[in-house]
Structure 1
Amino acid sequence: MLLVSAPILGVPEKAALSKVIDSGWLTMGDRVRAFEEAFADMHGAEDCVAVSSCTAALHLILHALGIGPGDEVLVPSMTFVATANAVLYVGASPVFVDIESADVPLMSIVEAEARCTSRTKAVILVHFAGYLADREQWQKFARARGLHIIEDAAHAPGLKQVGTFGAAAAFSFYGNKNMTTAEGGAVIARDPDLRDRIRRARGHGMTTGTQQRLNSRTPQYDVTMLGFNYRMDELRAAIGLVQLQNLQEWNEIRRILVVLYRRLIANYCPAVTVPFSEPRTSAYHIMPILLPSLANRQDVVDHLRNEGIQTTIHYPPVHRMTFYRERFPGIELPVTDEFAQRELTIPLHPQITSPAVEAVVAALASALANCMQAETAA
């Protein structure tokens, strides 16, 4: 099966894990700190905070900014559910905002303006598929309204611009991301005070960690705030240090594959559209396409699967999920709904070859031809 995404793991990662095991120190030690420094350096940041997941990163950012009950946070519905969940974690209310268009499935600034109220305190920008939102426009929007900008950069590691939009950016190192630590995440926050609050909240609000107490030869510590158990361990950090060395090369391979996909789809599947037709900075995390409106998506999925090709959907809209539909009824996001009904994600990762891309497009063309025949017969 040609998978939508696949981690690249090998001998270097195994060797790094073995060194951690041999060291006898498994959590919040030298490797976590080295990973934080290396990840921050790649993004031109002074420092970052490694955490257990991107969800934890989003929660910590919102918590450290003091967002809570009575506050509202603008979020897209075209995202993974964690984006909205993190807002509920701090007791605030997510306000779902439509996307700009089928070609630019990022939060619409026009729709965001229409949904702002006196209770709006922040906006979470999701860099969907790895494509960055318009920084200058959103910064102007936020300044005019006194809002915090939070970046959900789960799809966009390795880009220098990420983490420069506003208060902070949250990253994911889940197994299907551009680089992985299995589970894991990070926060880039340029304000050292905000970064310090996030770092302390990561570990129960404690003033020192276990290794710090060992090195200082004192068991004493204090708890200065409400905190959480969102720490990254040494095993994940060790994998991350190896993966980080390859991230830029892997992102470049992704870019080359996307260029090939776009050319082949235009030639052999002209009824299919590929979002982000205009050049835009990207980490090329996934390869979303939009099927023609008359095509039966499940038939296309089944056809490709029979050809040994996995597909998936990014994303089922959050506002349509049972939990959110019941909690926030009556939300209408027509552009998001239309995009979600036609979107299909096809394989994209650095282990894919050019012949594999050609095979995917050929199978897609065959599937669509079958769909058209069925439609004509009906």
Structure 2
Amino acid sequence: MLLRVGATNGRTGGKRMNPFQVVHDFERALSDYTGAPYVVTVSSCTAALRLALRWWYLGHGEREWNVTVPTRTYPSVPMAVVWAGLRPLFAEMEWSGMYVLYPTQVRDAAKRLTGHMYCVGQFQCVSFHPQKPLGLSNGGGAILHDNAEADVWFRRMRFDGRTEGIPTKDDEYTMIGEHCYMMPPTAAEGLQRLSIYAREYDHANQPSELELYPDLSKWAVFREA
């Protein structure tokens, strides 16, 4: 049975319920499972990659950087690279479950979700798309990381540049954010599924099936980016 999520105007004992508490609970459960000190859930793995890459770019001088991307991967990966202000540089490579977007510390881990998978110093982006390991009905993604400063930035970026817990009219906007936070019903499903997955379906990797992806290096849209 899925956890019930309180309505935004619900009250318990005179105290307003926080409908996003279940999102925080899911993030803590993922932290315990993967070993990542911080977990930030978002609406998709692509959003996770975009935010993680943008954070890296802002911290490295905002100059032109080439980022190595497999020629055969999902098209939104090099798109996330471009949106972050970087340039995709395609390379032939075999990968299984996860790969590094060199020279960044960002890893596309869309096809991996295992216990204690976190790698120190990395920003690992996982996917909850229905066809990925955990497989949530409405998808979603998360950034696994160990950077306290980045954690604050990610949480504001995913929430329209807002500060969590502060009403819109009372907040002070200091950044242009995105609208890519995870909704409570998705987190509630994830919390339930993770408890089962951790016991019964903790597979090392989902097959990469590279032959199903096109050769992205041939796409003009990326050569012109």
Q: Is the CA contact 1:151–1:165 (under 8 Å) kept in the aligned structure 2?
A: no
Structure 1 equivalent of residue 135 of structure 2: 180
Q: Give 3-state SS (helix, strand or coil) of 1:169's partner.
A: strand
1:96 to 2:90 alignment? yes
Structure 2 equivalent of residue 272 of structure 1: none
How far 1:30 sits from its partner (Å)? 0.6
Structure 1 equivalent of residue 206 of structure 2: 285
Q: Give 3-state SS (helix, strand or coil) of 1:179's partner.
A: coil
Comparing both structures, which one devotes a greater share of its residues to helix? 1
Structure 2 equivalent of residue 316 of structure 1: 214
Comparing both structures, which one devotes a greater share of its residues to strand? 2
Structure 2 equivalent of residue 82 of structure 1: 76
Percent of aligned pairs with the same amino acid: 27
Q: Is the CA contact 2:67–2:86 (under 8 Å) kept in the aligned structure 1?
A: yes
Higher RCO (CA < 8 A, seq sep 6+): 2
How far 1:194 sits from its partner (Å)? 1.5
The counterpart of 1:228, out of the listed 162, 165, 178, is 178
Q: Give distance in 2, aligned partners of 1:82 and 1:327.
A: 16
Structure 1 equivalent of residue 151 of structure 2: 195
**Aligned letter for 1:48?**
V
How far 1:71 sits from its partner (Å)? 2.0
Judging changes above 3 Å, is the alpha-carbon distance between structure 1 residues 38 and 24 closer, same or farther for their aligned structure 2 residues?
A: same
Q: Give 3-state SS (helix, strand or coil) of 2:177's partner.
A: coil
Judging changes above 3 Å, is the alpha-carbon distance between structure 1 residues 285 and 52 closer, same or farther for their aligned structure 2 residues?
A: same
Q: Give 3-state SS (helix, strand or coil) of 2:36's partner.
A: coil
Q: Give 3-state SS (helix, strand or coil) of 1:213's partner.
A: coil
Instruction: Trace 1:1-378 onto structure 2 (pairs within 5 A).
Output: 12=1, 15-16=2-3, 19-20=4-5, 23-25=6-8, 29-65=20-56, 66=58, 68=62, 70-99=64-93, 105-106=94-95, 128=96, 130=97, 147-162=103-118, 164=119, 166-181=121-136, 182-206=138-162, 208-209=163-164, 212-213=165-166, 219-252=169-202, 254=203, 283-286=204-207, 288=209, 313-321=211-219, 323-324=221-222, 327=224
How far 1:219 sits from its partner (Å)? 4.6
**Aligned letter for 2:153?**
R
Q: Is the CA contact 2:7–2:19 (under 8 Å) kept in the aligned structure 1?
A: no
User: Which one is further off, 70-79 or 25-34?
Assistant: 25-34
Judging changes above 3 Å, is the alpha-carbon distance between structure 1 residues 91 and 287 closer, same or farther for their aligned structure 2 residues?
A: closer
How far 1:322 sits from its partner (Å)? 5.3
Q: Give distance in 2, aligned partners of 1:78 and 1:159.
A: 27
How far 1:98 sits from its partner (Å)? 1.5
Q: Number of residues paired by the alignment?
A: 212
Q: Give distance in 2, aligned partners of 1:152 and 1:44.
A: 17
Q: Extract unaligned runs of 5+ from structure 2.
A: 10-17
Q: Give distance in 2, aligned partners of 1:43 and 1:223.
A: 33
Structure number with greater Rg is 1
Q: Give 3-state SS (helix, strand or coil) of 1:148's partner.
A: coil
Q: Give distance in 2, aligned partners of 1:247 and 1:165.
A: 23
Q: Is the CA contact 1:150–1:166 (under 8 Å) kept in the aligned structure 2?
A: no
Q: Is the CA contact 1:80–1:315 (under 8 Å) kept in the aligned structure 2?
A: yes
Q: Give 3-state SS (helix, strand or coil) of 2:142's partner.
A: strand
Structure 2 equivalent of residue 274 of structure 1: none
Q: Give distance in 2, aligned partners of 1:95 and 1:287.
A: 20
Q: Give distance in 2, aligned partners of 1:96 and 1:322.
A: 13
